[in-house]
Amino acid sequence: MSVRVKEKVHGLREGLKEVEPNGIVGTLLVGWWIAPMKFIADPVLGIAETVVPGVASVVPFAEPMVGFGLDVTTKAGTAVHGVGKSVGILKKGEQTEKERKDEMHQSVISEAKELIFEGFSLQKTGIAFGLSMSMDLLSAVLNPFKLTRWVEAVCGIGNFLKMTGISDDLFENAPDLLHNLIILGKTQDEYHDKLIEEKAESTEPTVTELDEGFRFMKYATAAYGAKTISAANDQQIANDQDVINTVFKGDTGPGLAARLDIKDWISGKYLIDTPSEFITRQKVSQHVGIPESDMIMFVKPGGSVQCLRHFIAVDHKNKEVILALRGTYSLSELLVDASADNRDFCNGKAHSGIADVTDKLWEVCGDVVNAVLAGFPEYKLVITGHSLGGGAACLLTIKIYAEGLVKPGTNVECMSYASPAVFTPLEAAETAVSKTTNFIHDNDCVSFLSAGNARELFDSIEVVDKKKGNFWQQLQVIMGAKPPSDELIKSVKIAGIEKETDIKGAERSFVPAKKIVWMRKNKESEEYKAYNFLADKLPEIYVNEDMIFDHFPPFYEEALNKLTDRE
């Protein structure tokens, strides 16, 4: 059941009860309509208190919209009530100082602002992704070699699903899959928060670690381009956070490639000073706080199943060379994500699709990275990225240490965000893992995704199918009218603990990071709390209505912004 929606309906109902005309004047002016309104509204809100939360929790994206509507109605009613009390036509109730301050602070305008700018953020993210997908599709139609690679990738994904039994699970569970997933999510709701508290490490992330997390997340966002940067800024405006942009005025000198005398020989693979990229490069510079003259940008329209878009920046203040990798942004990259069988990689097993793009990425940028490091021998290399970019950042860090790809003694670190589970066993890459931190935002599901975890998810779905009860019992759970049975909760918890036997090519994988920072949001206060996790202690895939939206880069920046008190 959606507790938040139920509480808001209940609060609206209780607030209505407090509205009373004051004296003869109040009765004459407003009493004639208050009594009939309360007579009709009270039973209607009573029914709504039972029905609306269940419906809102089942219909996709209905909960935030219903919640906003209730907030606006409550705030508008509170404002009207306040005016009525101030002019003497409505009775004044006792109100604490805190309540008066909260009432002044919360307003319809702030609620509308949040909805509008969060809408802009989601819209810009969606538009940017859609445009990239369209360009990718068009380029495939015009390029038979790319189309052939797509077909090969799809065939490989199909064979992998068949080999692991996931395709059989999908087929067998298809008729009841949607409502079984809803019931599974409702069941997990009963114990998920407690499970996180139990499995988290006793220590919490330090302020320095969160500051660093916020700083490098801006690079990971910037790797997506100008539209995603704009979406991240809108998300911060929606939450009354300051948007920090650094504007560099005047001539900042010759470009990095020219200063290092590598511009000519990298021009074949790095398209430098392309007019269409002027705005993007300027936005990236402002977002990460690095002059354009200290960046080298790789430009490739649309997407590629072979090479991720990326850029290199030099931060002289912190003595760092940063390699920022773009995440999933096209159909090509979705195919990379879905190519989830494992292959040999640096003394272990890795997600084959992401391992392939990691190898190709270093072929393209390795010499350039080493040339930049040679120009600044005291600087460390930090590799960062979000989603697919985060997974590639983790694997590239492993590859660099395993194969000695940079000058000995160079400190290489990785800051990844929403990396999928891409490597096993962790012991095969101890040094790289010790240098890697991964961040997870709230209910984002991506860091829990691997072939092994997907197989175990279907085990939980099968448990639900057996223990969910009759049609009436299922409906009550789905609508939020009744919690799942104790037997169902116990069975799902056990299924979430039990592990599948590894299948060759689909071994249980992990996010290859020594420290995982999980940022959990309190839906009531909208404040965040950060937990430290070990990679092998992350729980099962959590089925939740926010599991996709919480993956978007703007929400990662919002969370880290709040956790570092940058409002």
Supply the pLDDT for residue 301.
Answer: 42
Pairwise pLDDT comparison (194 vs 145), residue with the higher score: 194
Q: Note the pLDDT tens digit of each residue in 405-435.
A: 999 999 999 999 999 999 999 999 999 999 9
Residues 147, 34: Cα–Cα separation, whole Å: 67
Percent of the chain whose predicted confidence (pLDDT) is above 90: 31
Q: Note the pLDDT tens digit of each residue in 293-304.
A: 898 877 554 444
Cα 513 to Cα 204, 341, 448: the distances in Å are 16, 20, 13
Residues 530, 200: Cα–Cα separation, whole Å: 10
Supply the pLDDT for residue 1.
Answer: 41
Mean pLDDT over each residue of the chain, to the nearest integer: 78
Residues 213, 205: Cα–Cα separation, whole Å: 10
Q: Where are the chain's structural domains?
A: 3-106, 207-448
User: Looking at the predicted structure, is the pLDDT value of residue 340 above 50?
Assistant: yes
Could you tell me whether strands 436-441 and 412-417 are parallel, antiparallel, or unpaired per DSSP bridges?
A: parallel
User: Looking at the predicted structure, is the pLDDT value of residue 102 above 50?
Assistant: yes
**Domain 207-448: which topology?**
Rossmann fold (3.40.50)
User: Looking at the predicted structure, is the pLDDT value of residue 104 above 80?
Assistant: no
Residues 424, 511: Cα–Cα separation, whole Å: 9
Within 10 angstroms of residue 42's Cβ, the number of other Cβ atoms is 12
pLDDT band (50, 70, 90) for residue 171 = confident
Cβ distance 558 to 239 under 8 Å? yes
pLDDT band (50, 70, 90) for residue 315 = very high
Supply the pLDDT for residue 70.
Answer: 59
316-346 as b/e: b if 16+ CB within 10 A: eeeebbbbbbbbbbbbbbbbbbebbbbeebb
Mean pLDDT calculated for residue range 127-148: 62
Cβ distance 312 to 321 under 8 Å? yes
Count how many residues are written for the chain.
567
Pairwise pLDDT comparison (337 vs 360), residue with the higher score: 360
Residues 500, 401: Cα–Cα separation, whole Å: 31
User: What's the whole-model pTM score?
Assistant: 0.75
